[in-house]
Amino acid sequence: MTATTSTPLTHRGVPVDRDLRILALGSFANRFGAGAVLTTSALYFTRQVGFSATEVALAMSVSAIVGIVVQVPAGHLGDVRGPRQVLTVCMAGAAIFSAPPVFARTPWALAVLLGLLALFERSAGAVNQGVIAQLATGGRGVLFKAYLRAVTNTALGLGSVFGGAALVIDEPWAYVSVFFLNAAFTGFAAWTTTRLPLLPPHTRAEGEPRLAVLRDWPYVVITIITGLFSLHFFVMELGLALFISARTAAPPVMVAVLLIINTAAVALFQVRLSRRADSVEAGARALVRGAWWIAAGFAVVGLAERGTAWVAIVALVAGSLVHVVGEMIGSGGQWGLQMGLAPHERQGQYQGFAGLGFSVLAVVGPPVVTYFCVDLGETGWLVLAAFMVVIALVSVPAARWALASRERYGVTTHSG
């Protein structure tokens, strides 16, 4: 069901609601530090510490697997113990374990430390999604998620500037400083959670399963669909960079240029392009609209291997601009489906499960994307374009089925 409100979400770019302002501030701080670390960590561990690229990748895979395992239990813990309190503990743990990986001197130590960090970070992420769903009520859920995406993209971009400074200095102390900078900003984000209101825990009814989402097959199907739809993120983040390098005449710097274009577009237009996805059915329709834009963008990008450097540059920029429109529309559709079908009192558990679609894809997506974007070239881009449209079209009947099943599962759906 959908509720609407006459109160605007923001005023001059700042959330009107106090609680949403706090959530936005914490998210900005958290992602600012993350942006700095993401820019530098791989090079630090390979160039300064001496690990091989494979060793670093395996350590990161361990952390990704930990993240997959903890998301749903963490979301459930937030529901039954109190979302605000659990979020504060998880964020504090993330702050504590943000800096130690910089001191790892063996691949196993790095894997363990990154795994511990992922335990708290991904738990916090799952619980935070439930907090957002409970606080951004009155039809503001999807719009606030869109606003947060714009905020976090901006924070990541600004944080990467500090990471870039460490790369220029290229001294061990500069890299270590980045990790401690991340810890400080994560600690500040943890403190902001203490300013949020206490949200009541959900008391399980007699006979109610601990992880009800695992028995809610319509929601499982929707999670699979939205997870597969997320493949386009890996296409544009990994596949595009490899495609530019291996199959086009465009200069490598275009990878950075296209990232800047994407970040700026999301920061400016994400909220506006998510306004029509504030219910389950509207979310499915938005997924379809977004898929057509994404497919068109893929088709244009695929043309980049046909000509000179300038032809490739034009195709890459044009295709990326078309794609980002679909990315923003489709993201609103994903949020509308994931939030709209979840019971209000179990949002942490359900949003943690919804995040599994993306997390699992992060493990299996890279080789798939590499095969289609690099090995197959333009043909692969066209196949991926068709896949995006098909998976989005499937979401429409799936969403109707899921809505019809809500009464049978005893679910009171989230109101936007």
Residue span of the structural domain in which 94 resides: 17-193
> Is the separation of the CB atoms in 268 and 157 below 8 Å?
no
Helix axes 217-229, 347-370, angle to 10 degrees: 40
Residue 11 lies in a domain: no
Among 142, 159, 193, residue at a domain's last position = 193
Give the C-alpha separation, 373 to 93, whole Å. 38
Quick check: is 414 in a domain?
no
Whether 223 has a pLDDT exceeding 80, the answer reads yes
What is the mean predicted confidence (pLDDT) over 208-227? 87
- Tell me, yes or no, whether 9 lies in a domain: no
Residues 335 and 389 in one domain: yes
The answer to whether residues 238 and 386 belong to one domain is yes
Q: How far apart are CA 142 and CA 139, in angstroms?
A: 8
Domain boundary, last residue among 193, 223, 249: 193
The answer to whether residue 415 scores a pLDDT higher than 60 is: no
Q: Do 182 and 253 fall within a single domain?
A: no
Asked which of 162, 193, 224 is the last residue of a domain, the reply is: 193
| 76: confidence class by pLDDT, cuts 50, 70, 90 | confident
How does pLDDT run across 116-150, given as a tens digit for each residue?
A: 999 999 999 999 988 998 888 777 888 898 999 99
What Å distances lie between residue 226 and 172, 327, 350, 375, CA to CA?
A: 41, 12, 14, 26
For the record, the structure tokens of 414 come out as: 């989230």
Residue 268 lies in a domain: yes
Instruction: Reply yes or no on whether the pLDDT at 407 is more than 80.
Output: no
Residue 304: is its pLDDT beyond 60? Answer: yes
Domain total for the chain? 2
Percent of the chain topping pLDDT 90: 52
Query: Residue 69: which residues within 8 A CB-CB, separation 6 or more?
Result: none
Residue 362 included in any domain = yes
CA distance 300 to 324: 13
Q: What is the pLDDT of residue 191?
A: 98
Q: Residue 350: pLDDT above 80? A: yes
Residue 208 pLDDT > 90, yes or no? no
Task: Look over the chain and give the mean of its residue pLDDT values, rounded to a whole number.
Answer: 88
Q: Which of 326, 280, 278, 276 is nearest to 299 (CA)?
A: 326
For 188-192, 261-265, 329-333, which range has the lowest pLDDT when averaged over its residues?
261-265
Regarding whether 305 and 179 lie in a shared domain, the answer is no
Identify whether 159 is part of a domain.
Answer: yes
Do the domain assignments include residue 203?
no
Q: Give Dmax over CA atoms of the chain in angstroms.
A: 68
User: Residues 238, 184: one domain?
Assistant: no
pLDDT band at 90 (very low <50, low <70, confident <90, very high): very high
* 220 found inside a domain: yes
> Are residues 236 and 372 part of one domain?
yes
136 lies in the same domain as 251: no
Q: Which residues have C-beta within 8 Å of that of residue 175, sequence separation ≥ 6?
A: 40, 44, 48, 102, 166
Q: Are residues 223 and 133 in the same domain?
A: no
pLDDT of 203 reads 72
Q: Which token pair is 252?
A: 């490598």
Residues 23 and 111 reside in one and the same domain: yes
pLDDT at position 3 over 70: no
Among candidate residues 271, 17, 284, the one with its CA nearest the CA of residue 134: 17
Instruction: Give the ranges where 2-140 is alpha helix by DSSP (H).
Output: 18-43, 53-81, 83-96, 107-135
Is the same domain home to 180 and 285? no
Q: Are residues 157 and 253 in the same domain?
A: no
Q: Which pLDDT score is estimated for 408?
A: 58
Stated pTM of the model: 0.81
226 and 307 fall within a common domain? yes
How confident is the model at residue 201, as a pLDDT?
85
CATH of the domain at 53: 1.20.1250.20
Average pLDDT over residues 280-303: 96
Nearest to 94 by CA among 187, 191, 196, 160: 187
Which residue(s) pair with 103 in the sheet? none
Average pLDDT for 49-56: 86
